[in-house]
Structure 1
């Protein structure tokens, strides 16, 4: 096991955990507030459900290493959307106690890394593909 393989697994699991918690929070805190917030930004309200489900289910998938590249593409799209619709006007570090887009950029970079990675280590995907290669 190489250091970069362990590092990649840690990055994938942390990204998954962060998105999972955000998905849980959207539903626990009342998804209706998120729907209203999306609509105030000019985004159709139903997209709040789409984003919350991707965060919740996608977070679990990333933690387990299932469909990592697909989920990473979806999380990257969510981050690009968040930056350009909600955070860009607040600046990198935010204003008046509101968060900027610095964390969104970090999550975007993590997602892009997983999209571009040649192999996803320590994941259920790698176990499944290894078994297929042996057959």
Structure 2
């Protein structure tokens, strides 16, 4: 029988993965150079756009597959902290950082608890045992 907490963690992992995959795809489809230019315009080094876009894209896929859930979630949480404090804090709670805060809390949950259900990482780990 599947633990209901694992079902919840699976849902969080999949949704977080889909959200970040979509954000990463958008950064690259819109031209990552444009994103880098926007980063520079708000005082963030442009090269970080490449790192953020890659972490979002690859990390989103990894979360959906259940690979490196805790590490990927930690990286995405760091990105959300950066987004809150560099971009959205000044716009206030509802018009600014509310979504970033929700994504940060989802990421922290996955860092603390992981998500083993339907996880490729768990499957691979089980093979080595």
Give the shorter-chain TM-score range. over 0.9
Secondary structure of 2:76's counterpart equals helix
C-alpha contact (below 8 Å) 1:114/1:120 kept by paired residues: no
Matches of 2:81 and 2:90, distance apart in 1: 14
Where in structure 2 are there 5+ consecutive unaligned residues? Answer: none
C-alpha contact (below 8 Å) 1:79/1:108 kept by paired residues: yes
Where in structure 1 are there 5+ consecutive unaligned residues? Answer: 95-99
Matches of 1:87 and 1:36, distance apart in 2: 18
Task: Note if 1:105 corresponds to 2:106.
Answer: no
The one-character-per-residue Cα deviations of 1:80-113 (angstroms, maximum 9, x if unpaired) are 000000000011112xxxxx11000000000000
Are residues 72 and 13 of structure 1, via their aligned partners in 2, closer, same or farther at CA, if it must alter by over 3 Å?
Answer: same
C-alpha contact (below 8 Å) 1:15/1:62 kept by paired residues: yes
TM-score, length of structure 1 as denominator length: 0.90
Q: Report the alpha carbon displacement of residue 126 of structure 1 after superposing the two structures with TM.
A: 1.2
Which position in structure 2 is the counterpart of 1:123?
119
Higher helix share: 2
The one-character-per-residue Cα deviations of 1:31-88 (angstroms, maximum 9, x if unpaired) are 2221111112211101001100000000000000001111001000000000000000
Matches of 1:130 and 1:110, distance apart in 2: 26
Secondary structure of 1:42's counterpart equals coil
Which position in structure 1 is the counterpart of 2:27?
26
Q: Report the alpha carbon displacement of residue 118 of structure 1 after superposing the two structures with TM.
A: 5.6
TM-score, length of structure 2 as denominator length: 0.94
Give the number of aligned pairs: 128
